[in-house]
Structure 1
Amino acid sequence: MRVGIPGGLLYFRYGRLWNSFLEALGAEVVESGETTRSILSSGVSKAENESCLPVKVFYGHVLALKDKVDAIFVPRLVSVKRRTHTCPKMLGLPDLARAAVGDEVPIIAPTINFQTGLWSNYRAVYSVGRLFTRSPLRIIGAGVKAWKEHRLYLERLTYGLDHRSALRGEAEKLLCEGRELRIGVIGHHYNVYDTFTTMSLLDRLSSMGVDVVTADMVPERLRERELRRLPKEIYWSYEREIAGAILACARYRLVDGIIFMISFPCGPDSIIRVLCEQENRRLGGVPMLTLVIDEHTGEGGFLTRIEAFVDMLWRKKSAPAREEAVAV
């Protein structure tokens, strides 16, 4: 059976996990590949106008797989951590996929919900395995193998590899190599690692001689410590990671500046943006630039803002040295 995995949204976090699991079960995995202009255009033309950019991109990836596979794998992630929930758009992804392909291609959509306990999630994973094999041992073995590869992928991200390098397990260079200027690029994985929608932001910053720190590279203990300081708990799983990373970077000066990547019109990110900007000002933290991207974002204006922000950080960083030289 050929099973398609759309290369959008949660693929940038769980793609290695899904691919490994399905391959270990004997499926022929077909990925939609990286985002392209044609994928974005098809998604924009078919998706609801009010959908955020990543959902439109996801729609395009599903359509790209429609005539190539026997089924499409789109899990329904309700909660990935106790007492938290994913964004509402994650809950409806299987329904969006069904709307995109109709009855032509079945959607494999196990429900993952840590609010209901581990056993229900085990049963959901096992039900997927039963589509390919009747052997419980093979299903368990596939799950263990996939989880190990997933943890290894996430570990590589913490070391400073980007998404593509982490998948390959090798990199010509790291995002953070000890350069003088360091910028935090914080946001959802799909808003940071998708080279098309971000116009290769990470590569462009590297070419400017800038080190990049992502949310994955901020120690989890620092993120959790900052979240505990907030007056109200954040209930969205991935927004918790983003807010914790931004506040940790601001409090401990882990970076010289922060670029917060948001896709329009994401509601949870808009709330987190206000919260983080207020806390950053209260802490007397680091300069922060918020970039809101959608399908209409032009490369010229986007790059101008990046270059201006980097120039401002260089001037700010060199100001103390100039003042010291004048004093002498």
Structure 2
Amino acid sequence: MYKFCISIPVHEKFDVILDQINNINYFLKGTMIILHLSKSFEIKDEEIKILESFGNVYINSERVSTKWGHILHAHISNWNFVKKFEYEYFIFHSSNDMFIKSGLEEEIVKYDYYFPLGKFNENWIGYNKVFKDESFMNLLKKLDIKNEEIYQCLTEGNYFRKDIINKVFEILEELKIDENSIYPREEIWTPTISNYVIKKYFSHMKKGKNYMFTEIALPRKKVLKTLTFMERIKYYLKKNIVRVTRENKKERIRLEVIYPSIIEKLIKNPEELEHLTSETYPIQNCFGIKRVDREINSNLRKYLRESNNFYKRGY
């Protein structure tokens, strides 16, 4: 039996997938990795054989769309695929996150689940679309979930014991995607229904802590409280905490968790980054980071490989 089942939707770059598998196997032993390949992802037969040669990597035979607003259904598909396997915890990951240090197994097994409950308000990117989502709103009515019990969160690093996630996904798989109302559903459906399930069936279970640090959720602290999002980003850029990167195909500027010096502090001297910590993102509990460029030789990927003996596999 596996201790952990990590679900990852992937849609590009075989070498980056290999890099992430090696990273997971190095830092979190006893893990089953279930890959959902997007409909648009072209992969060769010999590449499939390489993935399967790891022994703990399984490829979901179903391929659904993983475009923006559809990611949750890839995780649900992965959950359906692994029903035949024995494992203890189901963990959400993405194809652009990486572990940075060992010790996560000991941390997770102390708890039964973790997901944050972020405030859902008009500042959230898809706020109005949620209320136009007929399938979701009908489900809330059926379960007697009030609008003020709608929550939002990032799913990467969320984990659940198998009996909990079974109950969550049994409810979520009823929902259909309304193509006229596209928004990042996983950030709303998952915490809202998970909170309902925990309160109704598993209120005695113990909630853990977040282990995935992301630049999207850089917290407001002290002087930053009064700054707008872009003003805070400028502050973090100045402090070399994040940097601007550019996606080649779409020429879309985005942010990336930055330089090896910051990662070294997260690993060795997290107290030096206490000014970034929050209840949702405790720096002392940081075992992984998001986002990491999907480029095999990005500075961050190279640093993680080289500083960990190339994950003891034949690079």
TM-score > 0.5 by shorter chain? no
More helix by share: 1
Choose between structure 1 and 2 for higher RCO, CA contacts under 8 A separated by at least 6 residues. Answer: 2
TM class by shorter chain equals under 0.3
Q: Could you state the TM-score of these two structures normalised by the residue count of structure 1?
A: 0.26
Larger Rg: 1
Q: Could you state the TM-score of these two structures normalised by the residue count of structure 2?
A: 0.26
